[in-house]
Amino acid sequence: MTHSVTVDDVRAAQQLLRGIARVTPVQSARWLSDLVGGPVDLKLENLQRAGSFKIRGAYTRIARLTDEERSRGVVAASAGNHAQGVALAAKILGCKSTVFMPVGAPLPKVSATRGYGAEIIFTGTTIDECLIEARAFEQETGAVLIHPFDHADIVAGQGTAGLEILEQRPDVKTVVVCTGGGGLLAGIAVAIKGIRPDIRVVGVQAAGAAAYPNSLAQGHPVQLTSMTTMADGIAVGRPGDVPFALVQSLVDEIRVVDEEVLARALVLGLERSKIVVEPAGAAAMAAILDDPSAFEAPIVAVVSGGNVDPLLLLRVIRHGLAAGGRYTTLRVQVPDRPGQLSGLLRAVAECDANVVEVGHVRTNPILGLHEVEIEIEVETRGPNHREALLQRLANDGFNVEVG
């Protein structure tokens, strides 16, 4: 089969990107290695310029435009990472950039994109809606659309990360890649399969925005009717035609992870590997965490990107701690009389759980006239400790609902 992008295209992009894109480090992740029973390394694209792999494809695409095309400027649609990649590449190459971003795009991504010199126009709530407006802008102004994933130059640029993986970890047997529209996955698969076809390449999508499984089953890109996920960076409703054909031909498997696993992976990456990564960039780690026996070591998981909104990070950390049994909200209905709260807190303290917050509710219609609902948020050391606390409260006669 003749592919739209070959390993030689990726090698050419690598030459073009010398001095522009960083060769990002590969770092061991013992917390994943212990689960798998073999080496797991993280390819840290969150440390790339502009915080993600996107500069690789954006620069490759814009650099290959003619001088006349660059003089008309470029336009892009992005939730943030591609926006920053395009804005930075355009600034380096001396051309104007306009970026359509969804309403509510993370503030750090907006600020960074504007800081690189791009004009930002907010529209819609998804990348797909932004793409519609970006294409209309292209027709109206003559600016060149720099698609986030559906172009051969974009795929070739992203694939340079795959060449680096082979150079940095030549013994790798499995490469796991976070996946939205498929540009990064397709590019890495082209690079790796073109040199080492024995290496297994796995893409990972968020369950609430998993366009690839059904599209692959149908044999062509299929539009999702809705998407709901914290992983905005990979929330793409339809695979690109160019990456889809490459993924269909070269990628061994697409796996799907839910929100709880994404949150846990983000927290463990922060806690154990000391890396700051957004939910989309944690997808490859999440897949390994979710089913470590499914992957043959040595493994490289691609981590990208690092442009997480601090407010979202706070919510995701709390969600991840709850999913890991380390943060729990308990609701307890008790008679509204003195001593009930102190008895409850005494039981929690004797289980060595830490109370973070306490609240009283007296207006819930399910409560009796002389009842009160006590809501407490507690920190525990993990699922076993949480279960021990719940069992102690049950033994003491408390009717507990876990929130």
Residue 19, sorted as left (phi over 0), alpha (psi -120 to 50) or beta, turns out to be: left
Domain span at residue 371 reads: 326-402
Find how far residue 160's CA is from the centre of its chain.
20
Domain total in the chain:
3
- Per the listing, tokens 């399910």 go with 366
- pLDDT tens digits, one per residue of 116-156: 999 999 999 877 789 899 999 999 999 999 999 999 999 99
Whether residue 2 lies inside any domain: the answer is no
pLDDT at 1: 60
- d(CA 397, CA 395) in angstroms, rounded, equals 5
pLDDT given for residue 160 in this prediction? 98
Residue 179 lies in a domain: yes
- Domain termination site, one of 301, 321, 341: 321
**64 and 49 co-located in one domain:** no
Q: Are 267 and 390 part of one and the same domain? A: no
- pLDDT value of position 306: 87
Q: Could you tell me if 70 and 190 lie in one domain? A: no
The verdict on 74 and 130 lying in the same domain is yes
What does the pLDDT look like over 325-384, one tens digit per residue? 888 889 888 888 888 888 899 989 999 999 988 887 777 777 777 788 888 999 998 889
Count other C-beta atoms under 10 Å from residue 19's C-beta.
6
| The model's pTM | 0.86
Are 232 and 311 in a shared domain? yes
Please check whether residue 1 lies inside any domain of the structure: no
Are both 76 and 136 inside the same structural domain?
A: yes
Domain boundary pick from 145, 162, 180: 145
Strand partners for 177:
203
Distance CA 178, CA 211 (A): 13
CATH of the domain at 104: 3.40.50.1100
| 112 plus 45 within the same structural domain | no
140, part of any domain:
yes
| Residue ranges of the chain whose pLDDT lies below 50 | none
Out of 89, 110, 145, a domain closes at 145
Integer Cα distance of 146 and 82 in angstroms? 9
- pLDDT at residue number 152: 97
In a domain, 350, yes or no: yes
Radius of gyration of the chain (CA): 24
Q: Is residue 351 domain-shared with residue 239, that is, in the same domain?
A: no
> Could you give phi then psi for residue 97, rounded to 5 degrees?
-130, 140
Catalytic residue among 54, 78, 97, 273: 54
Question: Does 390 share its domain with 268?
Answer: no
Q: Are residues 285 and 385 in the same domain?
A: no
Active site residue 54: yes
